[in-house]
Amino acid sequence: MKKRYFIYISYKGTAYHGWQCQPNGISVQEVLIKTLSAILRTDINLVGAGRTDAGVHAKCMVAHFDYEGEKIDTSKFLLHLNSFLPPDIAVYKIVEVRSTAHARFDAVSRRYEYHVIFHKDVFKRELATRLFAELDFETMNKASALLCHYEDFGSFCKLHTDVKTNICHIDFAFWKQVEDEWVFTIQADRFLRNMVRAIVGTLFEVGKGKMSLAEFCSVIEAGNRCKAGMSAPAEGLYLVDIQYPDDIFKLS
């Protein structure tokens, strides 16, 4: 009988053209599909919870696939799968879910982190964005808190995408110092394409004193991507968590 599985994946995105399969370059999804298909000896289709852009990392991406063969011995399967995957992609959990569960449509929240450093760190190359300007994180945190008062984030959405709505509900968004890094954490029910990097880039403008809090609000209210700041570089961004309702894990 066909069974559906969720896999929980982490990857260093530097070498990939993002999560999603595409003709121009190698993607994380493509590597996983090929490896899963080889190990399970059948064509596997993998549906991700979302996309990440080229160079963006994931501490937690979730995807589902269906498999008709015998029940998967999860711990053996994980060892086997990880030994075939390249060193920058790891699957750390696999769990059977209801046959109707959907990695993308059933996700109730997604959380991202953006990591910033202010010095040359040889061990964090490609793993954080290095900035040279000083930033006023106190003001940036005031701006971050304001994000929760809005729902329409068209200003932070990549132009010409075909999503039906720009409405997102942000649970929280804040900057916090963690050792020698500053980390921005943001959670919402959904994110628009490029949204986190556009928000972070605009918060950098606030932190440099080039944009006031009132101007920050105007940018959001304008609903126009051209008003916002530049996209922050991909290397600082991590998808870190995706939440689902409990009932999809309860098998009848």
- By CB under 8 A, name the one of 2, 76, 119, 160 that touches a second copy: 119
Sign of the Cα pseudo-torsion (191, 250, 44, 77, in order): positive
Q: Does 30 bind a second copy (CB under 8 A)?
A: no
Residue 53 a catalytic site member: yes
Integer Cα distance of 227 and 230 in angstroms: 9
Query: What single letter denotes the amino acid at residue 236?
Result: G
Integer Cα distance of 175 and 168 in angstroms: 20
Cα–Cα nearest to 65, from 85, 39, 87? 39
Q: Which is nearer to a second copy, 51 or 124 (CB)?
A: 124
Q: Does 214 bind a second copy (CB under 8 A)?
A: no
Q: Are 128 and 114 in contact (CB under 8 A)?
A: no
Site for a second copy in 121-140 (CB under 8 A): 121-123, 125, 127
Given 43, 53, 73, 88, the catalytic residue: 53
Site for a second copy in 54-113 (CB under 8 A): 57, 82, 87-90, 92
Least distance from C-beta 88 to a second copy, angstroms? 5
Q: Which is nearer to a second copy, 178 or 251 (CB)?
A: 178
Least distance from C-beta 140 to a second copy, angstroms? 25
DSSP assignment of 208-241, as one string? TTSS-HHHHHHHHHHT-GGGS-PPPPGGGEEEEE
Q: Which is nearer to a second copy, 125 or 142 (CB)?
A: 125
Least distance from C-beta 60 to a second copy, angstroms? 12
Report CA dihedral (84, 85, 88, 94) to the nearest 10 degrees.
-120
Residues tagged active-site: 53
Binding residues for a second copy, rule: CB under 8 A, are 10-12, 57, 82, 87-90, 92, 119-123, 125, 127
